[in-house]
Amino acid sequence: MGNRVTTKGQVTIPKWARDELEIRPGDEVEFVRDSGTLKVQKKVVKSRFEKYMGSSKWLAGKDIGELIEELRGR
């Protein structure tokens, strides 16, 4: 039995597949091409902080006192 695609392009992942892939609400999945087929898999995140890596480069080499004053708007 197949799954219908909604007008928004959404499809429900069957419970057995979610259980097997350990997909929980809020998890991300990705689509991968493999030898003429399309596979869906759970996106593996190394760390929950991974998306923030490199976002604080602007802090490098700055004096902490100056940063505090800058953040306070002084």
pLDDT in tens, 26-51: 899 999 999 999 999 998 877 777 77
Tokens representing residue 20 in the block: 């097997």
How does residue 1 score in pLDDT terms, banded at 50, 70 and 90?
A: low
Contact at 8 Å (CB) between 39 and 32?
Answer: yes
Confidence check: pLDDT of 15 > 80: yes
Nearest-angstrom CA–CA distance, 53 and 51: 6
Q: Would you say the pTM of this structure is higher than 0.85? A: no
Confidence check: pLDDT of 64 > 70: yes
Task: Give the per-residue SS3 of 4-29.
Answer: CCCCCCCCCCCHHHHHHHCCCCCCCE
Nearest-angstrom CA–CA distance, 66 and 28: 39
Tokens representing residue 18 in the block: 């979610």
